[in-house]
Structure 1
Amino acid sequence: MKKLLIVLFAMLLMLTTACSDKKSSTDEKDNNKKEGPVTLKVVYKDEGPSNPVAKQYFESLSKALKEDENLDVTFELVEMPQGNYAEKLNLLLLSGDIPDMIYFQGGDLQISQQGLLEDLTPYIEKSKNIKNILEPHNKKRLENYPYLLWIKPLDSKVPVMRKDWFEKLSTSQALLDEPTVDNYYSFFKEMVSNPPGGAKKPTYALTAAGDIVEIDFIFKRAFGLSQTWLEKDGNYVYGKVSDNEKAKLEFYQKLYKDGLLDPQYLTKQWDTKEKAFYDGEAGVIVGTNGKIIDIYNGKMTQVNGEQSEVVVLPPAKGEDQGFTSTDITKESRGIAISSQSKHKDTVFAVLDYLASEKGQLLDRIGFEGEHYNVTDSGIELTDKYYAEWYARFWEPSEFKMEKPLNTPLLSEPAQKSRDLANQFYKEDNAFIIPEEYAANWDAMENLYKEYATDIITGKKPISEFDKFVAEWEKAGGKEITEYANKNIK
């Protein structure tokens, strides 16, 4: 009897194990199934349902995912109201309406601190494509802040102007040979006092979109503002309260007073800034190196003829030279996945597909027959590609296709802008402001903007800068400076 019980128990154990193995095998098979059909809600600046190109892009992406990856995905684009995108997006998210895929252009830190954004690290580690195209600065930013993904070349901005105007100015060669702050001033001065376009064009040398950040890309490092925190006598000092910043603002005040800086730069948006450039009101604007410069070049030649292709100007030279140092604390913009999404794996599968060869064909060069044509010898890009197309998602440095590109991805000015950005690359030493200092920090930054604007526009004399420094320290500057000196390595 005892032996019979042992035999029966053994048989029962074998049966249970077999059933368990079968269930495990079935579960594994189920887990490997593609999710679908799925509707992913997407919010992306300027890529809403009212944008016909955006609609065509995401419809094409949906079709490609079905054909290439057997992913049945439909995209629901969110229309964002006009105004400050970061502010409007935060209002949307804090209302509880959280899309699956979110493009941020600022304002993400507050959202991630509430646990509403997914940590992308494990997804990237398991990815087929994305992990292979990350740039070095992308990797460092993800290590510090794993919630935003933005696989693009260095995002340094560079100054450009019309080549035909540039060649008419007698100060141009001196600027190329020795782009000092003084030579830049002489160059701007001649541009306005003896307009190369005739009939008082340009009316001012330089414009910007809303603040001085773009202008800083030209001049900041020339004034010794090489990093956010400057080393002085063995300690770190915040650059915006330094004597270097005071000298920079004094120079900007001079540009404004002498009519060289657009008096409406504070109210300009990116589109009105660019219109002023194409219409000849502004001689120089600043744009992100690479594809944006390509678009500037294409639109400028469309409006004013082939002779008006853009020329890239060098960064100003002084105590240092280069475009603004690269912040590696986090991506300043990029794609996030909502931690509340029911389709996180599918969202990342879409992002990973866009990093594949077939995904890049759509994302990088657009729609066949419009932006490129396929011939027996390879792929030829059209004028429309150079004038308007840009990658909505990834732009890795290496671009591989089954067929070769017969025409370069970037025009000559755009490629030069990218080369200059790489040549003058310098890492910043900024850090993510701890949450306990965040409210004070925002107030301190607003204080800087207020004083900087009033000084540049002449509402306050440059001597008021010392008052600003004192107010900044009282507002929390002393504590954050102590924190910086303990934590910057």
Structure 2
Amino acid sequence: MKKLLWMLFGLLAIFLVACSDKGDEEAVAPEPSEDGKTAITIAYKDDGPSSEDSVKYYDALEAALKEHRDLDVEFNIVEIAQGDYAEKLNLLLYSGEIPDIIYFQGSDEQIAAQGLLEDLTPYIEGSEYLKDILYDHNGTRLDNYPYLLWVKPINHKVPVVRTDYLEQLSSSETLLADPTIENYRAFFQELVDKGLTEYGITVAGDIAELDFIFNRAFGVTSTWLEDGNGGYVYKKVSNAEKEKLAFYAELYAGGLLDNQYLTKQWDVKEDDFYNNKAGVIVGTNGKVIDLYNTRIKAVNGESAELTVLPGASGISSGYAATSVTKEPRGLAISSQSPNKNIAFEILDFLASPEGMKLDLLGYEGEHYNIENGEIVLTDKYYSEWFSRFWEPQTIKLDTAISERTPLLSPPGQASTNAVIESYEADNDFTIPEENISQWDAMENLYKEYAADIITGKVSIDAFDTFVDEWYGAGGEDITKLANEKLK
């Protein structure tokens, strides 16, 4: 079925690209609506015409564009069916309905390969604002893959704990000063032994969140590790990975890792943290940690404010390495859109002081107020507002934000600072299209073995069997490809 869909989509792509190749003189010009507005169609996860919050936001953006750029647009928000966003979005695209601005969260490479996404490089180079707010990793990712843009801090995850719990534990000072693997284990153990929590740490569904803390400590410092013989080995079949899984299995057996982690959904995971079943939770740096902080204090009082914990140290230290092959999510412009320039002008406006004021701060009188010539953020801002588009490191607004109400709470800002300080680029690369199905099967094989090892269904010795199966399932070819690329 999937192959058939791609064949149909390929035919659609050929038709659309053929039409677009007739030359600029024959390109379809944007047609204004009856009221003179240019219709801009946008597909964005969790946004839709049935959402009052979405409609309110895009109405406000229309007004801001008209006021500050004399740009008269009307947003048509696409309703994406509930379920897996990437899958549902692709079904929309298969149908031939291709919005002007598209948010992708996976499955964009196949679309770009059909020539249906615009190369953003010349637009950004000629932009008034966007080119000045890019992070270093944005530039590298755009050089590698110029179709997606996501101007936000590195989307990493960091561990946090209640500060009042931290202050009650004798192991806290040692952990913060020297966050070794064993000091982390002792910290989790004391949380449980003192009856503060049921288990030391919770994660949702797999071990990816644990890996942000422990990968580098075990020597899993990049996707492809040097093998000591001038070549590279995939991290998940390395001896370092075996040692890490053995450690996770010990945490699980000792009740320090949430024994329900495999089936736990993210919302239940968060509730377990707020209700003190879990001592440590892992969340995305910045705004997500901010929201966790607001919620934990609302449930448990001001003393429960969060403290960001460091990445574990050992063979290396810090949080997991960051992929720079491409943006894993982000905004694209359809190459078939008759409104490409206007679509980009909207994205550039959102990087301007006026655009940031809406996208970063929300609505005046609701999420912020102007007091004595300063922007004062409200409790509602901290509890519910998020930036749909850009989150630059340097914020330039016409009115200063009061020091009493910074954009991020101290824990939120500390989490972002910690990730920036710990940044290290990964050496991964995009798996070729012809190997993707094989690669997915190999990754699923790893997940099955990792889950069975951690939960004690098989011993750590089964890792060696997994390695043999992994190489037999296509690992030999992928490893050969990696060594060719990395050398």
Query: 1:297, 1:387 within 8 Å by CA — same for their partners in 2?
Result: no
Q: Deviations over 1:187-217 (max 9, x none)?
A: 1112123222xxxxx2222112222111110
Tell me, yes or no, if the aligned pair for 2:30 and 2:339 is still in contact at 8 Å: no
Matches within 5 A, 1:13-412: 37-196=37-196, 202-233=197-228, 234-407=230-403, 408-412=406-410
SS at match of 1:124: helix
**Shift in Å at residue 366 of structure 1?**
1.0
SS at match of 1:259: coil
How many residues end up aligned between the 2 structures?
455
User: Is the CA contact (8 Å cut-off) linking 2:31 and 2:38 kept in structure 1?
Assistant: no
Q: Which amino acid in structure 1 is aligned with residue 446 of structure 2? A: Y
Aligned equivalents of 2:271, 2:98: Cα separation in 1? 34
Contact 1:38 / 1:74 at 8 angstroms: preserved in 2? yes
Deviation at 1:82, TM superposition (A): 3.4
1:92/1:253 CA distance change after superposition, 3 Å = farther
How far is 1:32 from its partner? 12
Report deviation, 1:66. 1.3
Separation in 2, partners of 1:32, 1:376: 44
Cα distance, 1:334 vs. partner?
Answer: 0.7
Structure 1 counterpart of 2:444: 446
CA distance in structure 1 between the aligned counterparts of 2:266 and 2:51, rounded to whole angstroms: 17
Provide the identity percentage.
Answer: 57
- 8 A Cα contact 1:34 1:70, kept in partner: no
Letter in 2 for 1:67: E
Q: What is the CA distance between 1:448 and its match in structure 2?
A: 1.2
Secondary structure in structure 1 of the residue aligned to 2:103: strand
Preserved contact between residue 289 and residue 417 of structure 1 (Cα < 8 Å): yes
Counterpart CA distance in 1 for 2:41 and 2:318 is: 40
Indicate the larger mover: 160-169 or 357-366.
160-169
Return the TM-score normalized by structure 2. 0.89
Contact 1:154/1:421 (CA < 8 Å) preserved in 2? yes
Distance 1:250 1:49, change over 3 A: farther
> Do 2:105 and 2:328's aligned partners in 1 also have CA atoms closer than 8 Å?
yes
Please tell me the residue identity of whatever aligns with 1:362: L
1:34 CA drift (Å): 9.7
CA deviation profile, 1:43-89 (whole Å, cap 9, x unmatched): 22222334332222111111111111122222222333333322332
User: CA, structure 1 residues 258+398, in 2 after alignment: closer, same or farther (shift >3 Å)?
Assistant: same
**Distance in 2, Cα, partners of 1:186 & 1:290:** 27
CA contact (8 A) 1:219 1:316 kept: yes
CA offsets 1:396-432 (integer angstroms, 9 cap, x no match):
1110111211132211111111121111111110111
Q: For the structure 1 residues 155 and 173, does the alpha-carbon distance in structure 2 shift closer, same or farther, using more than 3 Å as the test? A: same
Supply the AA of the counterpart residue of 2:102.
I
Partner of residue 15, structure 2: none
Query: One-letter code of the match for 1:416?
Result: A
Please give the alpha-carbon distance, in whole angstroms, between the structure 2 residues aligned to 1:449 and 1:305: 38
Give the 3 Å change call, closer, same or farther, for CA 93–276 of structure 1 in structure 2.
farther
Tell me by how many angstroms 1:154 deviates: 1.8
Matched, 1:481 2:479: yes
Q: CA deviation at 1:37?
A: 1.3
Which sections of structure 1, spanning at least 5 residues, go unmatched?
A: 1-26, 197-201
Following the alignment from structure 2 to structure 1, what is the Cα–Cα distance between the partners of residues 90 and 276?
36
| CA positional deviation for 1:382 | 1.4
Matched letter for residue 349 of structure 1: E
TM value normalised by structure 1: 0.89
Q: What is the distance in 1 between the residues matched to 2:224 and 2:455?
A: 26
Cα 1:161/1:65, change in 2 over 3 Å: same
Q: What are the Cα deviations for residues 322-351 of structure 1, in whole angstroms up to 9, with x where unaligned?
A: 111011100111111122323222211111
Identify the residue that residue 22 of structure 2 maps to in structure 1: none
Q: Distance in 2 between matches of 1:143 and 1:349?
A: 21
Report the alpha carbon displacement of residue 459 of structure 1 after superposing the two structures with TM.
Answer: 2.0
Cα-to-partner distance string for 1:93-148 (whole Å, 9 max, x where unaligned): 23333222221122222222222222111221221111111111100000000111
Q: Mind listing any 5+ residue stretches in structure 2 that lack a counterpart?
A: 1-24
Kindly indicate whether the alpha-carbon contact (under 8 Å) linking 2:32 and 2:39 is maintained by their aligned counterparts in 1: no
Q: 1: distance between equivalents of 2:78 and 2:267?
A: 21
Give the SS at the match of 1:266.
helix
